Amino acid sequence: MKLYFHPVSTVSRPIMLLAADENIALDMQLVDLFKGEHKQPAYLAVNPNAQIPVLEDGDFRLSESSAILKYLAEKNGSPAYPANIKQRARVNEMMDWFNTGLYRDLGYGLVYAQAFPDAIYPDAAVQSATLARAQKKANHWLGILDKNLLGAKNKFICGDHLSLADYLGVCILTAGEVTHLKYDAYPNVTRWISTMKARPTWAKVNEGFYQYFVGGYKDGKFLGL
Ligand SMILES: N[C@@H](CCC(=O)N[C@@H](CS)C(=O)NCC(=O)O)C(=O)O
């Protein structure tokens, strides 16, 4: 199987973590986002959305990180995607929760809206009003993650066992490190991120993310939470 990816990509990293943890063999095909390779005709033929990740399994091609995670997990009989339909539905629920509300407001609304030049509104008043709105919503989601979803008891998002939702969620939250987000006000979130970062595969999988993405923004000044 081949994975079109980039090491800094928030939604490639969960797939790389799953593959590393479960020894899933992937032929890693780097698409150089920094050079605009994803917008060239050769890659548009693979994914007209001009986005990574994309998985190829023979002549079957799949985009969307959440769908790729589930496909790989099912194919591999992964314990991170339980077969029990209610447990599986809970994992699906949490993946959607991260990927829609929290990612939209925290990732796109607060982090990327400050980090990516083409996402910054030229009008300073518009920029600050949209950031303020995203900041408020991001805090709303983080409060729920901290108190209701993780709480003091849960080691992982769906309880005692690691699931696909942890891989996806932690990569979205750590994207916040690009604009220096601090989750100190959310102790259960902080604990859960530490648990995920302590996994043996974390450092190697995330090497490129810290070097090229987080490292590139270390001197910036950004609105936090
Ligand atoms: N919903 C898609 C989002 C994919 C996505 O946003 N990919 C980013 C990298 S993290 C990308 O390719 N960005 C390039 C661009 O949009 O120009 C997924 O989950 O796979």
For 125-173, the pLDDT digits (tens) are: 999 999 999 999 999 999 999 999 999 999 999 999 999 999 999 999 9
Domain containing 50: what range? 2-76
Is residue 224 domain-resident?
Answer: no
Last residue of a domain, one of 76, 95, 121: 76
Q: How far is the CA of 53 from the centre of ligand 1 (A)?
A: 7
The count of structural domains within the chain is 2
Residue 122 near residue 191, CB atoms below 8 Å? no
| pLDDT the model gives residue 152 | 96
| Distance from the Cα of residue 222 to its chain's centroid | 20
Helix (H) or strand (E) holding 20: helix 13-21
Q: Which residues contact 176 (CB under 8 A, 6 or more apart)?
A: 106, 107, 110, 111, 183
We report the CATH number of the domain holding residue 129 as: 1.20.1050.10
**Nearest CA, atom 13, ligand 1:** 51
Instruction: Kindly state whether residues 128 and 102 are assigned to the same domain.
Output: yes
Is residue 153 domain-resident?
Answer: yes
Instruction: Kindly state whether residues 15 and 72 are assigned to the same domain.
Output: yes
| pLDDT the model gives residue 144 | 98
Q: Cα separation of 119 and 176, whole Å?
A: 16
Instruction: Kindly state whether residues 108 and 8 are assigned to the same domain.
Output: no
Of 141, 214, 128, the closest CA to residue 183 belongs to 141
| pLDDT the model gives residue 171 | 98
**Nearest CA, atom 6, ligand 1:** 51
Q: How far is the CA of 119 from the centre of ligand 1 (A)?
A: 14
* Pocket-forming residues, ligand 1, beta carbon under 6 Å: 9-11, 33, 38, 50-53, 64-66
Q: Predicted confidence band at 18 (pLDDT cuts at 50, 70, 90)?
A: very high
Neighbours of 52 (CB within 10 A): 24
Instruction: Kindly state whether residues 127 and 206 are assigned to the same domain.
Output: yes
Q: How far is the CA of 99 from the centre of ligand 1 (A)?
A: 12
**Nearest CA, atom 2, ligand 1:** 64
We report the CATH number of the domain holding residue 67 as: 3.40.30.10
Residue 50 near residue 44, CB atoms below 8 Å? yes
Most informative mutation of 51, 69, 108, 164 for ligand 1 (most atoms within 8 A of CB) = 51
pLDDT > 90: percent of the chain: 100
Is residue 22 domain-resident?
Answer: yes
Q: How far is the CA of 182 from the centre of ligand 1 (A)?
A: 24
Last residue of a domain, one of 25, 55, 76: 76
**SS3 of 47-111:** CCCCCCCEEEECCEEEECHHHHHHHHHHHHCCCCCCCCHHHHHHHHHHHHHHHHHHHHHHHHHHH
Instruction: Kindly state whether residues 162 and 64 are assigned to the same domain.
Output: no
Q: pTM to 2 decimals? A: 0.98
Quick one: average pLDDT of 195-209?
98
What value does the mean pLDDT of the chain take? 98
Of 74, 94, 68, 90, the closest CA to residue 4 belongs to 68
Is residue 222 domain-resident?
Answer: no
Instruction: Kindly state whether residues 23 and 62 are assigned to the same domain.
Output: yes
Is residue 178 domain-resident?
Answer: yes
| pLDDT the model gives residue 201 | 98
| pLDDT the model gives residue 225 | 98
Is residue 223 domain-resident?
Answer: no
Q: Predicted confidence band at 68 (pLDDT cuts at 50, 70, 90)?
A: very high
Is residue 169 domain-resident?
Answer: yes
Instruction: Kindly state whether residues 59 and 101 are assigned to the same domain.
Output: no
| pLDDT the model gives residue 172 | 98
Lookup result for tokens 């009003």: 129
Instruction: Kindly state whether residues 54 and 104 are assigned to the same domain.
Output: no
For 83-139, the pLDDT digits (tens) are: 999 999 999 999 999 999 999 999 999 999 999 999 999 999 999 999 999 999 999
